[in-house]
Amino acid sequence: MSNFLVSARKYRPQTFERVLGQDAITSTLKTSIRNNQLAQSFLFCGPRGVGKTSLARILAKTINCDNLSANQDSCDKCVSCTSFNENNSFNIHELDAASNNSVDDIRKLVDQVRFAPQVGEYNIYIIDEVHMLSAQAFNAFLKTLEEPPKHAKFILATTEKHKIIPTILSRCQIFDFKKSSIDDIIKNLKYVASKESIDFEDSVLHLIAEKSDGALRDSLSLFDRLVTSSDGKLIYTEVIKHLNILDYDYYFKVTASLFENNISQLFLIFNEILNNGFDGQHFINGLASHLRNLLLCQDSITAEILEKSDDLKSRYLDQTNKTSSSYLVKALKLCNECDIQYNLSNNKRLLVEICLMQISSIGYSAELKKKSKNFVVSKANDSKAPIISEAIISKVQNTKTVKDERFTATKVNKTFNDDVIIEKKNVNVEITNSIDLENKINDEVELKEKVQDLAEIKNSQDFIATKESKTISISNLLFQKKEKIKEDDIISNLNLKEFTQSDLTFHWKEMINILKKNGKSNLAITLGIYDPVLLDDFLIKVPLSNSSQIELVYHEKQMILKILRERLGNDKLDLNTVVVESEKRDVAYTNKDKFNKMLEKNPELQVLREQLGLDPEY
C-alpha cells in the first residue's frame, strides 16, 4: 500500500504567490528581500491554519537561494533549495516550543547560533508555538534575539500573541496574519480538486469554506474526509449527510412559516430537526445566522458582506423582500435571548418552541395594530361613529373575544369647524371592518385603577375632535370642565375612612405581627422601636434610629402601605420616615450604681445595709 499524504502537506505553499489571503505580508517580505533590508527576527502571529509556518519556510528558503528570480522566488535548483526540498538542509532549523520550552533547550539553541552556515548566507531558526516557552526560557533568549550574529535569522510563529512577554515583542518585526476569506479558500479547494481530478458542486466548496472558519488547513482536512467518503465526486446532498449539518432549506422553510404565522408547520419542522439528531441550541444559532443574512440583504451595500454562492444569494434576496428590518431585528433579539437561556432551561424543547411562536407573532401583532389604527382614523372621520381610545384598542389586540364594552365616546361633526358636543353614552361597539374580530368589546375597570386610566383616556382622545384655533372656544372650556368633574368623581370614590391615633397604634402592632409571621423579622423589629405618629392629611410619621433603617423601610414601603390601607380603610395614607436622636440613658453598670438606683426607689435599703454591714462595692 502506497503512503497517503494529506492534502494539507501535499499542496503546502512553496512560493509567495501560493500563500493565499496574506498579500500585504508577502509583498512586504519580498520587498525586504529585494532591497536587502531583512530584519534580525520576525514574529508571525494569527489564527490557526492560515500559513504562518509555511510562509516562514518559504522565507527561509528564499533568503538562502543562490539564484533568485526577478519576482523574488527561489530557483529550486541550487544546493540550498534542493536540500531544503529534500528536508535535509543544515541551514534551516525548526524548533517546536511546545515540547522544547525549558531553559536548557534555549541554551542549546543559543550555543548553536554561534556557528556559521555551511551552505548559503544565513542560518534560519524557526520556532513554532513560541508562546509555550517558559518565562525563564524567554529571558534566556532575550540577549541573543536582540543582538544575533550576522548569519542568524529568527522566525517565531504563534497563535497567541498576548502570551509573549513585551521584551520579546519589542525585539521582533511583527506580522499579523488574518483569517482566509471564503473566496480564497474556495480558490485553493478548486486548485486541489483539479490536481486530484475530483468532480464537485460549487455549493459543496462553499459549505466546506464556511465550516473551516477561515483556516485553509482545516478546509483541506475536511476536503480529504469528504473525498474519502465519496466516489470521486462531491455532491451537496451527500455532503450534508456526512457532515450532519442543517441544510439551508430547513432555515428557508422555517423562515417562510414564521412570516406566515404558521405555528403548526413550525412545530413539525422543528420536530423533524430534532429527530435527525440535531441540538436545539444548534438550530436556534443557525436560525439567528439565517435571519442575520436576511438583514444584510435588506440593503444592497451590506449585501456584499454576504459570502454565499450566487444561487443562495438570490434566495436570500427573494425572501428578504417579504419582511422588514424591524421584524428581523426583533426576531434576532428573541433568538439571542433563547440562546442565553438554553443551558439554564430544564425543558429546552419548549424554550425553543416558545421562541418560534414569539417570532411568528411579531408580524401578526404589527399587522393587527396597523389595522386597528386605520380603524380608529376611519371611524374618527365619521360623524356618527364613536371614538375608541388607545387603551381599548390595545386590549382588542390582545384578545379575539371581548364583550359588551362600555365607555365614554364623543360625537364629532364632519367639518371639525363647529363646536364639539361632548356627551356620556354607553356604546356597544361592533368591530368587524378592519380588525376582523367577531365579538364585542368589554373593559371592566376596577375602582382603584380609575385614576390612572383617566390619564390614558385623556391622551387617547386629546383632541381628535378639536381643531387648532387662535380664539377661545366655549366648547373646549365646557369639555375641560366636564373632564374635571369626572376626575373629581373618581377621586371621591376612593376609600378615605377617618381613623384616630389609637386605631393607627392598634393596627400598627397587628402589622408587625404579620411581618414576623411572613419572615420579615428585621423589618418588624425596626418598626417596633418607636410608635408611629398620625399627622394631617393621613400622613403617618415613622420615627427610626438611623439611615439604614430608613432604606429598609423604603424598600418595603408598598407592602406596609398595602396592609395599613386595607386595615384602616383609607387609600390616601402615606408614610414619612424620620431619624430621631437617641436619648441618653443613665444605665447602671457596677454594683454600687445598681444599689444607688434601688436606693432611689426605696430609701429604707440604706438602713438595712448599715444593720447588715454590707458594702455595695463587692
C-alpha cell of residue 612: 447588715
Calculate the alpha carbon distances from 3 to 6, 10, 88 in Å. Answer: 10, 12, 20
Question: What is the bridge-based pairing of β-strands 41-45 and 92-96?
Answer: unpaired
pTM score of the predicted model: 0.54
Domains, the chain: 7-176 (3.40.50.300), 182-243 (1.10.8.60), 248-364 (1.20.272.10), 381-492 (no CATH), 501-579 (3.30.300.180)
What is the reported pLDDT for 477?
54
C-alpha cell of residue 75: 530557483
Backbone dihedral angles phi then psi of residue 434, each to the nearest 5 degrees = -95, -45
Q: Rounded to whole angstroms, how far apart are CA atoms 435 and 393?
A: 10
For 252, counting Cβ atoms within 10 Å of its Cβ (0-12 exposed, 13-18 middle, 19+ buried), the class is middle
What is the reported pLDDT for 289?
92
For 131, counting Cβ atoms within 10 Å of its Cβ (0-12 exposed, 13-18 middle, 19+ buried), the class is buried
Per-residue 3-state assignment (H helix, E strand, C coil) for 90-123:
CCEEEEECCCCCCHHHHHHHHHHHCCCCCCCCCE
Q: Rounded to whole angstroms, how far apart are CA atoms 252 and 247?
A: 9
Q: Which amino acid is at 567?
A: R
What is the reported pLDDT for 586?
54
Tell me the angle at which helices 557-568 and 501-517 cross, rounded to the nearest 10 degrees.
130
Helix (H) or strand (E) holding 256: helix 248-259
DSSP H helices, 89-247, are 103-113, 135-146, 166-169, 182-196, 202-211, 216-229, 236-243
Q: Rounded to whole angstroms, how far apart are CA atoms 65 and 74?
A: 6
Q: Rounded to whole angstroms, how far apart are CA atoms 504 and 513?
A: 14
Low pLDDT (below 50) residues in the chain: 1, 375-377, 379-451, 454-472, 583-584
Q: Rounded to whole angstroms, how far apart are CA atoms 464 and 204?
A: 61
Helix (H) or strand (E) holding 356: helix 348-380
What is the reported pLDDT for 120?
76
Q: How far is CA 207 from the centre of its chain?
A: 27
* C-beta of residue 11 within 8 angstroms of C-beta of residue 180: no
* C-beta of residue 575 within 8 angstroms of C-beta of residue 560: yes
Q: CA quadruple 599, 600, 603, 604: dihedral positive or negative?
A: negative
* C-beta of residue 41 within 8 angstroms of C-beta of residue 172: yes
* C-beta of residue 323 within 8 angstroms of C-beta of residue 241: no
Q: Which amino acid is at 119?
A: V
The size of the chain, in residues, is 618
Q: Which residues pair with 174 in a beta bridge?
A: 43
Selection from 458, 490, 487 nearest residue 389 by Cα = 458
C-alpha cell of residue 190: 478548486
Selection from 269, 279, 278 nearest residue 249 by Cα = 269
Backbone dihedral angles phi then psi of residue 415, each to the nearest 5 degrees = -85, -15
Selection from 310, 467, 441 nearest residue 376 by Cα = 441
* C-beta of residue 431 within 8 angstroms of C-beta of residue 368: no
Q: Rounded to whole angstroms, how far apart are CA atoms 359 and 365?
A: 10
Calculate the alpha carbon distances from 38 to 42, 152, 174 in Å. Answer: 9, 11, 13
What is the reported pLDDT for 74?
86
Selection from 576, 577, 596, 578 nearest residue 588 by Cα = 596
Q: Which residues pair with 485 in a beta bridge?
A: none
Helix (H) or strand (E) holding 157: strand 152-158
Calculate the alpha carbon distances from 467 to 312, 378, 455 in Å. Answer: 54, 17, 21
What is the reported pLDDT for 463?
39
